[in-house]
Amino acid sequence: MFGRQYISTLLVTQPVGEDVTVKGWVRTFRNNQFIAINDGSCQETIQAVLEMGQFDEETVKNIAPGSAIGVKGQLVESQGRGQVVEIKVDDLKIYGNSPADAYPLQPKRHSLEFLRENAHLRFRTNTFGAIFRIRHLASFAIHKFFHERGFYYLHTPIITGSDAEGAGEMFRVTALDPKNPPLDDSGEVDYSKDFFGNETNLTVSGQLEAELGALSLGNVYTFGPTFRAENSNTTRHLAEFWMIEPEIAFADLGDNMQLAEDLLKYVIEFVINNAPSELSFLENRLIQEEKQKPQHERSEMSLMDKLKFCVQNEFQRLTYTEAIDILKNCKPNKKKKFQFVIDEWGADLQSEHERYLVEKHFKKPVILFDYPKNIKAFYMRSNDDGKTVAAMDILFPGIGEIVGGSQREERLEILKERMAEMDIPEHELDWYLDIRKYGSCPHAGFGLGFERLVQFLTGMGNIRDAIPFPRFPGHVRF
């Protein structure tokens, strides 16, 4: 294809004796003779060997880390160690040279911060090649999973007039002139004169629209970008991230938890089976990184162990109330080691609490359910106790919350009461209420943060390294 063969294919089929053509980017060039080429098709490089004096000096000078080249020649068994086959070069073409002294990616270890600043070039590194191939595999596996289970992929809007989570952390979308906006009688910006005749924002979630689809198509899922203007400068938050949101008709919270657990296990297993080189590269990278840490902070499990552990074990299910009891009585809480000490039922859990439950107490993924209604969104189904809602969060080691979901309030009157309690005007969500008037049914769904999943799969410590071009407060380069 494209006048070239993929290195991934050649390393598997090994057609020794045949002429092959490889095009890619130089990783290293040793002794003016041995070129390591990577073409993005896999983690590995292929070695292309020149004979001394085969090409003029000018050509050889243009072979340097980063340059784009094509080589043609016979595939032969390698004389040297470290590779089984190599290419004995007959023809060489330099597509784009890369001045050796100026190329920012020198053959040495670069810090992740440096690479983030140079996110346009970091694809060229082994680490980010591995991450983005895994990111692809994970998104492919997600579509495959849902397709096999009879779910339809639904595209929900990016620009929206509603605030799904009711958290008010939205980016405004407007076509008005910021220097001279139209004003109404009371001096406020008059959004009725704006492009859509209304205030609009970037969506924080496709859930409400997905619910409408599910109540006719049966099972749907979204997989799209979502935006949050929360000023969270953490290793787990992005201002622009991708979310997977299935919505299932005639389902309750138990079905919802099962679907989420099945999905996570399916995707992890798919990546284990399809990215062995990437995972082993990232695992070694982590081992090196761990060595820099003091003994007591080092992880007991390797990346592969962690992934397999998740696939092989049932997630621990317990209610919020049970979790609070564990947390109230745990050592770090009693010794006030938590930044937020848990002293009563109703407290919102912070990531330190979530991670304690997962990493210290249960030592496995945890599904918490039946949360106090006061800390959850308006659309979650009220439980009979009058205090809790049928919500669930899945907590993962090293990540904390990876999934958040619930059974939805399908009863019109109760939903209206909840909205009134939370000051959500009915007229803003008339369409959402309509679906409760015309053939409402029990339904449930959840949101899986895609970058948090990629973070888990790759073992990266910072979510900014799980997406090609991260957006976070103060950063919008590229």
Q: List residues bridging with 33 in a β-sheet.
A: none
Residue 331 makes CB contacts below 8 A (sequence gap 6+) with: 337
Phi and psi at residue 434, to the nearest 5°:
-55, -40
Given ligand 4AD, Mg ion, none, residue 458, with its beta carbon under 5 to 8 Å by kind, binds none
Given ligand 4AD, Mg ion, none, residue 424, with its beta carbon under 5 to 8 Å by kind, binds none
Q: Examine residue 369 and tell whether it contacts ligand 4AD (CB under 6 A).
A: no
Phi and psi at residue 164, to the nearest 5°:
-55, -45
Q: Is 304 exposed, middle or buried (0-12, 13-18, 19+ CB in 10 A)?
A: middle
Q: List residues bridging with 227 in a β-sheet.
A: 240
Nearest distance, CB of residue 9 and Mg ion, angstroms: 43
Nearer to Mg ion, 221 or 446 (CB): 446
State the binding string over 403-442 for ligand 4AD (x if CB under 6 A, else -).
xxxx------------------------------------
Nearest distance, CB of residue 21 and ligand 4AD, angstroms: 42
Q: Examine residue 245 and tell whether it contacts ligand 4AD (CB under 6 A).
A: yes
Nearest distance, CB of residue 244 and ligand 4AD, angstroms: 9
Q: How many residues bind ligand 4AD (CB under 6 A)?
A: 22
- Token pair, residue 105, equals 């990616």
Given Mg ion, ligand 4AD, none, residue 62, with its beta carbon under 5 to 8 Å by kind, binds none
Nearest distance, CB of residue 221 and ligand 4AD, angstroms: 9
Contact 214, 443 (CB under 8 A): yes
Given Mg ion, ligand 4AD, none, residue 207, with its beta carbon under 5 to 8 Å by kind, binds ligand 4AD
Q: List residues bridging with 405 in a β-sheet.
A: 392, 446
How many CB atoms neighbour CB 281 within 10 A?
20
For every residue of 330-363, DSSP letters joined together read SHHHHTT-SSS---STTPPPPHHHHHIIIIIII-
Among 66, 213, 224, 445, binds ligand 4AD (CB under 6 A): 445
Among 146, 378, 446, 456, binds ligand 4AD (CB under 6 A): 446
Q: Which residue is nearest to ligand 4AD (CB)?
A: 449
The rounded distance, in Å, linking the Cα atoms of 203 and 157 is: 7
Q: Which stretch binds Mg ion (CB under 5 A): 29-37, 161-169, 361-369, 401-409?
A: 401-409
Nearest distance, CB of residue 253 and ligand 4AD, angstroms: 11
The rounded distance, in Å, linking the Cα atoms of 227 and 157 is: 12
**Rama region for 400: left / alpha / beta (φ>0; ψ in -120 to 50; rest):** left
Q: Is 140 exposed, middle or buried (0-12, 13-18, 19+ CB in 10 A)?
A: middle
Give, for 196, the enclosing helix (H) or strand (E): none
Q: Examine residue 203 and tell whether it contacts ligand 4AD (CB under 6 A).
A: no
- Token pair, residue 120, equals 């346009």
Contact 45, 7 (CB under 8 A): yes
Given ligand 4AD, Mg ion, none, residue 35, with its beta carbon under 5 to 8 Å by kind, binds none
Among 213, 246, 397, 404, binds Mg ion (CB under 5 A): 404
Residue-wise burial string across 27-44, b where 16 or more C-beta atoms lie within 10 A, e elsewhere: bebeeeebbbbbbebbbb
Q: Examine residue 405 and tell whether it contacts Mg ion (CB under 5 A).
A: no
Given ligand 4AD, Mg ion, none, residue 213, with its beta carbon under 5 to 8 Å by kind, binds none
State the binding string over 157-186 for ligand 4AD (x if CB under 6 A, else -).
-------xx---------------------
Nearest distance, CB of residue 190 and ligand 4AD, angstroms: 30
Strand-pair category, 68-77 with 152-153: unpaired
Nearest distance, CB of residue 470 and ligand 4AD, angstroms: 10
How many CB atoms neighbour CB 250 within 10 A?
13
Nearer to ligand 4AD, 367 or 402 (CB): 402
Chain contacts with ligand 4AD (rule: CB under 6 A) = 164-165, 205, 207, 228, 237-238, 241, 243, 245, 401-406, 445-447, 449, 451-452
Chain contacts with Mg ion (rule: CB under 5 A) = 404
